[in-house]
Chain A
Amino acid sequence: MHITEGILSAPILVGGGVLAAGGVTIGLRAMRDEDIPKTAVLTAAFFVGGLVHLPLGVASVHLVLNGLMGLLLGWAAFPAVLVALTLQAVLFRYGGLTTLGVNTLVMAVPAVLSYHLLVPILRRSRRPSILFGAGCTAGVIGIAFGSLLASGALALSSREFLGVAGLFFAAHAPLMVVEGMITGGLVCFLWRLKPELFRERGRSL
């Protein structure tokens, strides 16, 4: 999911950086004081999840957990993703510093989308099947929409990537299933443990 340096064109890098900066600003404004520990924990989970690679055909994939981040953080997912990606780029050379903006968008936009689509359902329902379903959907949205955005960034950068954009999306299909199941299970677990995590509302934007 991390797009490495030297692939994307300058306009895409700059555009991604500007949009990501906007998202981070909104996220910091939406983050309340009491959300900071939760954001730190989810940033740490995202950081560690990105280090666990699973073999998949000729490539390897890693957990992203951006769907779960979106459900629990909303717009605050933007600064959380940025911090985790920066540390991954500096410490492990994942992605790169020039692609931070685009990579932040690729992973944080689906998180915000999951938040707006699914948190209203989570606040209304207590049925485990619906909770699990909403969690699964968040996990699938996180990977599916993220890989669509990454494919779009690649395709917009160079026509050479048009052909592989579909392949990039298809390569992440198994991860969508894995991520969906994990996110669904975590949502059910967290709902039992601390349901107010999903009931709390962020600061109005």
Chain B
Amino acid sequence: MIGNRRHTRNDGGAPGWCAWGCGVAVLLLLCPTAFAHGVHAHAIHGGLGLAVEYDGGYPMAYAEVRVYAPDDDTTPYTEGFTDAEGYFVFFPAREGPWRMIVDDGMGHRIETNIAPDSAHHSFVFLPPRRVRWQEAVFGLVLIFALFGGYAAWLSASQKRKRI
């Protein structure tokens, strides 16, 4: 009896299932976007990044950043802008030196290669080029030595001409 019932139900239900299937297919085809997945977010820490500063220690804010993967030097892996504090962070997909170019579009540009640490992604601060007073004093000494040397050379050459 049961088998007969099944047989009977199958015979009578086949056109109905086909109609349902065709209807769903048409709906799927007509629907421009299907949101098949839910969206979740979770906090992440780390990443590979730069903190870019001008010489005086001020952040290079909203400067254009291009990142090139270790094996592709032509097409940027990702692009973006530094934030108001001069930070830019991304998550490298693989090991190797990643080339990053930061350009504020006004004549200031920095290019650097940074490699993610094998164990933890690192956050790299470009060394701020702050004025070191020893170097400034050294520069001043060089200036006076250079001009002093030039004056001595001029005076020696004039003496030679007189002789």
Contact = CB atoms under 8 A, between A and B. Distances in A.
A205 B112 CA distance: 46
B154 interface: yes
Nearest to A165: B106
B140 A51 contact: no
Contact of B106 (A33, A44, A94, A171): A171
Interface stretch (A85-93, A111-119, A185-193, A196-204): A85-93
B130 to A, nearest CB: 9
Contacts of A3: 107
Interface string A1-31: 0111111000000000000000000000000
A91 B131 CA distance: 9
Nearest to B103: A7
A44 B138 contact: no
Contacts of A83: 143, 146-147
Interface string A133-173: 00000000000000000100010000011001001100100
A69 to B, nearest CB: 13
B108 A33 contact: no
Chain B at the A interface: mostly helix, strand, loop or mixed?
mixed
A40 B108 contact: no
A87 B142 contact: yes
Interface residues of A, number: 39
B61 interface: yes
B151 A33 contact: yes
A43 interface: yes
Contact of A43 (B58, B60, B147): B147
Interface string B122-163: 000000010100011011101110111011001100100000
A154 B57 CA distance: 24
A74 B108 CA distance: 29
A53 interface: yes
A91 B138 contact: yes
Contacts of A53: 54-58
Nearest to B63: A58
Contacts of B158: 33
Contacts of A44: 140, 143-144
A40 B139 CA distance: 12
A58 B110 CA distance: 16
A154 B142 contact: no
Contacts of B147: 36-37, 39-40, 43, 83
B107 A48 contact: no
B148 A40 contact: yes
Contacts of A55: 56, 58
B109 interface: yes
Nearest to B101: A6
Interface of B: 54-62, 84, 103-111, 129, 131, 135-136, 138-140, 142-144, 146-148, 150-151, 154-155, 158
Per CB-CB distance, the 5 closest pairs between chain A and chain B, nearest first, are: A53-B56, A40-B147, A58-B61, A60-B56, A36-B151
Given A83-B147, A167-B105, 6 more contacts: A7-B103, A47-B140, A48-B140, A83-B143, A92-B131, A161-B105
